[in-house]
Amino acid sequence: MASLKSIRKRINSVKNTRQITKAMKMVAAAKLRRAQEKVLAARPYAVKLEEVLVRLSRSGGAVDHPLARKENSEKALLIVVSSDRGLCGGFNANICKAAEAFIRENSSRYTEISLLTIGRKGYEFLRKRASVRKNYSNILSTLSYQEASLIGQEMIEGYLANEYDEVFLLYNAFKSVMSQDITLKKLLPIEPPQGPEEEFHPEAIYEPSKEELLAELFPKNIEVQLFHAMLESIASEHGARMTAMDSASKNAEDMIAKLTLQYNRARQAVITTELMEIISGAESING
């Protein structure tokens, strides 16, 4: 049986760990609220932009855009959004496994599948298992639209330069604190979004022309999708970390209870042994 000193030392260690996990849960909860606000603020713009693209695509002009057509589909680029920090449960492990599954399932379809990782954890896991073209680390904590726009423009330039023929985006979509859905989107070539048919089709006059609008809105839509996916991933990360730290705190409390019980039993055994020794010594003297 472990000594009283070692059990007491372990109880104090677990209590210290519980304080850390509780503090991390509170920090994650505060960051989650801010991340949710950003996600909700970005959604109306993304939805309205898609509605405009639906109207323009149906009226013609989308097929001839260089981002909407590609003769070959031999090389693919997969953008994987993870996090820069750990201690968030299976958040990073799940997205990395999904990336591995994508590569495994499409290895016969493409002659080359390369990765672009956003987040240090995904890069550290995937760099030894796949071809990583580039990694972006330490941008998610202070993410701005400008950073997402630069990544989107760089990705579009590579596509137009025939460095890859198709581009996919893999990220965790935020559903709730307890739920994050791994989502795979095809970014390039652009497939004109399909929306519900309208009963009334008014004749619209576009200024500038529909082709010029599409030339501006197609790249903009890719940047918006990338930015929105990164916001979703950030909110998912904080939700996963909050859940993981809450579970860790509860596990620490259970462990403290078990160790306390073990400590009391060990202490009782020591006291009983001492009493038996005293009684035996008294009897031997009296005898």
Active site residues: 88
- Residue 189: cis peptide before it, omega within 30 degrees of 0: yes
Q: Omega before 196 cis (within 30°)? A: no
Residue 29 corresponds to which tokens in the numbers above?
């909860």
Instruction: Tell me which DSSP letter residue 142 carries.
Output: T
Specify the amino acid at residue 140. Answer: L
DSSP symbol at 138: S
Report the Cα–Cα distance between both ends of the chain, in Å, rounded. 34
Token couple for 206: 């576009």
Q: What radius of gyration, in Å, describes the C-alpha atoms of the chain?
A: 29
